[in-house]
Amino acid sequence: MPDDLDKYRQGDVLDLAYVPVLTNDGLVREEPTPEGVVVVTQTCDLVLRKRPTLHVARIISLNDIDAKPARNGRQPNLVHIPELGEKSFADLTFVATLDKSILSQVSARPGVLQIDDVRRFGQRVGRRFSRFAFPDEVVPWLRPLQKIVEGKDGNLDSPVGWALDHVVSLRLECEEGWKTTPYALTLCVVLNPGVIASFEPDELPEFPGDLAGWLYDNEGNLRRKVAEIALRLKGGEKLMGAAERYWLWGGFADALAALCIPPVSEPSSVRTAVEEGRIRGDLSTSEEFSFERYRRSDEIDLDHLSPPLPLREAK
């Protein structure tokens, strides 16, 4: 084991040619890592001599289109490595356990340096292994949202892709916890700081009458689709006032939530799983989203929604 363990950090890049993968016949194959590997073990564990192993993930490069959403954290199995450039990622589908003695045999260099990058790297590695598995009956409600985000997320030329680029997080909040159906659910659309002006709850800006009529009918039902609202947001970004921008982004959040309807072919247990048969939309910025709401909500990793568990025969 190296004497200088304290110089290594989570996010360090190691020039390792392969990682071991155990196959179903009990043999170990060598998974090539031509771009090296990155250390995913937490620094506090990495530097302790009493812990003899470390964990690494292989490094891969993505094309420009796929790299943008991955950098934004949309794919939990991919974690950006800033010091290697915009297209380099830790691929957490290939994580290997190595003896720390390997550190004496390979060169190492930092993959993350800036403190914000260090925190983000650690958080996203941790998220991969701590994601909440939504109840089976809720997953079909989120599939339509998954389709539109997957289709537009990397395409910033589209209005929807442009709008999603301003969204830092999509979270699902269950008002009473996940104890029993029907669940009272809210889709929390959390924007980057500065996208909308901040208003106190009792001092919201006046809702312009023409905009209100364009977005909602007399009964408060949404008239517009996600793409229509995103087009108006993008087209008028430099001209609209703070009030119009606030209410349009609120409509965008409502439109994303309105997508969340399961197919009629789903069983009754799915169609009745959500209170009032709809998921509500809510808009905030990352500065306004409280820690309490963070605790009672869960990140929606849309590209990794778990399929229902297979039915098991009663014993």
| pLDDT range class, residue 305, cuts 50, 70, 90 | low
* End-to-end Cα, the chain, rounded Å: 50
Q: What is the pLDDT of residues 113-140, one digit of tens each?
A: 999 999 989 988 987 877 788 899 999 9
pLDDT for the residue numbered 100: 94
Lowest mean pLDDT among 18-27, 79-88, 266-275, 306-315: 306-315
Residue holding tokens 């010091």?
Answer: 83
Residue 21 domain-assigned (yes or no): yes
Examine residue 32 and say whether the peptide bond preceding it is cis (omega within 30 degrees of 0): no
pLDDT at 111 over 50: yes
User: Where in the sequence is the domain holding 276, given as residue range(s)?
Assistant: 139-304
pLDDT at 141 over 90: yes
Q: Comparing C-alpha atoms, which of 42, 73, 68, 71 is closest to residue 56?
A: 42
Mean pLDDT of the chain: 88
Contacts (Cβ under 8 Å, ≥6 apart) of 192: 166, 167, 168, 285, 286
Distances (CA, A) of 3 to 37, 101, 102, 157, 233: 21, 10, 12, 52, 57
pLDDT for the residue numbered 32: 93
pLDDT for the residue numbered 315: 34
pLDDT for the residue numbered 149: 80
Q: What is the pLDDT of residues 148-166, one digit of tens each?
A: 887 755 566 789 988 998 9
> What percent of the chain has a predicted confidence (pLDDT) above 90?
63
Are 15 and 106 in a shared domain? yes
SS (H, E, C) 77-91: CEEECHHHCCCEEEE
How far apart are alpha carbons 9 and 146 in whole angstroms?
A: 35
Q: What is the pLDDT of residues 227-275, one digit of tens each?
A: 999 999 998 877 889 999 999 999 999 999 999 999 999 999 999 999 9
Are 270 and 156 in a shared domain? yes
- Could you say which of 106, 128, 150 is where a domain stops? 128
Are 117 and 195 in a shared domain? no
Predicted TM-score (pTM) of the model is 0.73
Are 109 and 153 in a shared domain? no
Are 116 and 247 in a shared domain? no
Contact, 242 vs 205, CB < 8 A?
Answer: yes
More confident residue, 312 or 50: 50
Residue 181 domain-assigned (yes or no): yes
Q: Collapsing DSSP states into helix, strand and coil, what is residue 176?
A: coil
Q: What is the pLDDT of residues 73-105, one digit of tens each?
A: 778 889 999 999 999 999 999 999 999 999 989
Are 74 and 146 in a shared domain? no
The secondary structure of 72-122 as a DSSP string is TT--TTEEE-GGG-TTEEEEEEEEEEEEGGGGGTS-EEES--SHHHHHHHH
- Could you say which of 91, 108, 128 is where a domain stops? 128
Q: At 18, which helix (H) or strand (E)?
A: strand 18-22
> What percent of the chain has a predicted confidence (pLDDT) above 70?
94
pLDDT for the residue numbered 308: 44
pLDDT for the residue numbered 306: 45
Domain count, the chain: 2
Distances (CA, A) of 110 to 60, 70, 104, 114, 237: 16, 20, 16, 10, 39
Residue 313 domain-assigned (yes or no): no
pLDDT for the residue numbered 155: 65
Residue 263 domain-assigned (yes or no): yes
Are 177 and 223 in a shared domain? yes
Residue 34 domain-assigned (yes or no): yes
Are 174 and 121 in a shared domain? no
Q: What is the CA radius of gyration of the chain?
A: 23
Apex CA 166: angle with CA 168 and CA 72, to 5°? 50
Could you tell me the CATH number of the domain that includes residue 110? 2.30.30
- Could you say which of 104, 128, 152 is where a domain stops? 128
How far apart are alpha carbons 62 and 73 in whole angstroms?
A: 14
Q: Comparing C-alpha atoms, which of 24, 27, 49, 40 is closest to residue 97?
A: 40
Q: Collapsing DSSP states into helix, strand and coil, what is residue 207?
A: coil
